[in-house]
Structure 1
């Protein structure tokens, strides 16, 4: 339980789902963790839970749409624990009501999703990199999505923003590798976070399951363990990569027709 012993990590969007799983695992393996989230009460509760389990954690309010809020979270992490070794840029938004096809998408929603999903990754990295350079290196991990690789009937802005994260990941890795800074991304498929379980009908979950190579849908820890690996020195020779954690859903024939049929019936 010492895979990231002595490291300091900031996890954005860490109050629930993938972020919470990652924060727990990082703390369990020895990291001091700052949980940044718009849901400050949830972040505080998560930090308290980690502390009760013997880990070290604290919480800070983070609005990923505001540059100053991202900067403050980075500076708080350094002030609290003396450095930042790991930055997990995990905040992401989607909107099934407004983020539609190209003709019908709400353009304000396009701007909002590009801003939060892609620009927040740029800003988090922008403010963390100088501290990492000073410390001799670090690991930046970004949450992208399989939507950045496989198009859909809707969620145009979401997919475009996540594709931007894939590209930005390789740019960061290229530009700051000589400073000992690695940058990688994780691309989840369907992960059964509490939000996914509450918002996705069982029929949709079963469609994903039908086209998975594996006989089950993913859980938050499936991403959390990947983040832990990328945060640790076990991955010290891996940079600029996007690891697809999606149960083999996208390695066979596309399933878009099945989704369209379901939407017609609904």
Structure 2
């Protein structure tokens, strides 16, 4: 089923994890895709693999915090395929060693995350929207995070920038809805991307499992399929919204596990 046939999609941070899943699924559902990434060799490799399978895909270098680089990625997409109708603003960074609590956070790291996590969404949208207007509409999809809704002991900048993404999504949706341009975001919980698997030991993953409503972790395709939905006309009456895809991690009273343990101890 070609759910996004005829659409042209630019995926930032598309060479791995969630971005790669989205690029692959969009291509398989009929879109022409451009994989934009700082890791240009990885982007080229994955684009070539999609082409080999019979899909339409290209790759372009992207430094998401650099306005000129973002503009060039959008221009490349239009030059390759004539337009751009889907933009997946997916690039995001975090650094648990520098992005600390408010008193101790590295201020240079704060500036870096604001630039890459938040400004990149502004830049991608800024340069893509005029082409979407000419095309008669489009869909912008932003990667937020559940860190936008639930605070932590560290990652102050990450949470603040992702909250900014959620709110910017609403602003874009409001400002360009009459042009038939929709804008939505996705807030993933813990997703077992290669980066997560490589950096999180099993005992730490077990803590997350304990608090999920579901008995398993999310995978990149769980977000990738949501991107396909938001890119497709199936979601044509949806804009300004944030899909929380987090395994039910945040839906329960936070004391529920302790209550269950207490109840078990009374038997």
User: Normalised by the size of structure 1, how large is the TM-score?
Assistant: 0.95
| CA RMSD after TM alignment | 1.2
Residues 17-48 of structure 1 show CA distances to partners (whole Å, capped at 9, x for unaligned) of 00000000000000000000000000001101
SS at match of 1:192: coil
CA distance in 1 between counterparts of 2:217 and 2:249 reads: 9
Q: Show the counterpart of 1:216.
A: 216
Q: 1:140-219 residue pairs with structure 2 within 5 A?
A: 140-219=140-219
Change (3 A) 1:153 1:254: farther
The CA deviation at 1:65 is 1.2
Determine which structure has more spread, i.e. the larger CA radius of gyration. 2
Q: Does 1:109 align with 2:76?
A: no
Q: Show the counterpart of 1:29.
A: 29
Residues 72-128 of structure 1 show CA distances to partners (whole Å, capped at 9, x for unaligned) of 000000010000010000000000000000000000100100110000000100000
User: Deviating runs (4+, > 6 A) in structure 1?
Assistant: none
Q: Show the counterpart of 1:100.
A: 100
The CA deviation at 1:253 is 3.2
Residues 40-68 of structure 1 show CA distances to partners (whole Å, capped at 9, x for unaligned) of 00000110111122111000000001000
Q: Does 1:49 align with 2:49?
A: yes
CA distance in 2 between counterparts of 1:65 and 1:237 reads: 31
Q: Show the counterpart of 2:264.
A: none
Q: Show the counterpart of 1:263.
A: none
Structure 1, 47-56 or 17-26: larger mean CA deviation = 47-56
SS at match of 1:191: coil
Residues 228-260 of structure 1 show CA distances to partners (whole Å, capped at 9, x for unaligned) of 0000000000000000000000111348xx9xx
| Number of equivalences | 257
Q: Show the counterpart of 1:12.
A: 12
CA distance in 1 between counterparts of 2:225 and 2:96 reads: 28
CA distance in 1 between counterparts of 2:193 and 2:70 reads: 24
User: Normalised by the size of structure 2, how large is the TM-score?
Assistant: 0.95
Q: Show the counterpart of 1:88.
A: 88
Gaps of 5+ in 2: 259-267
The CA deviation at 1:130 is 0.4
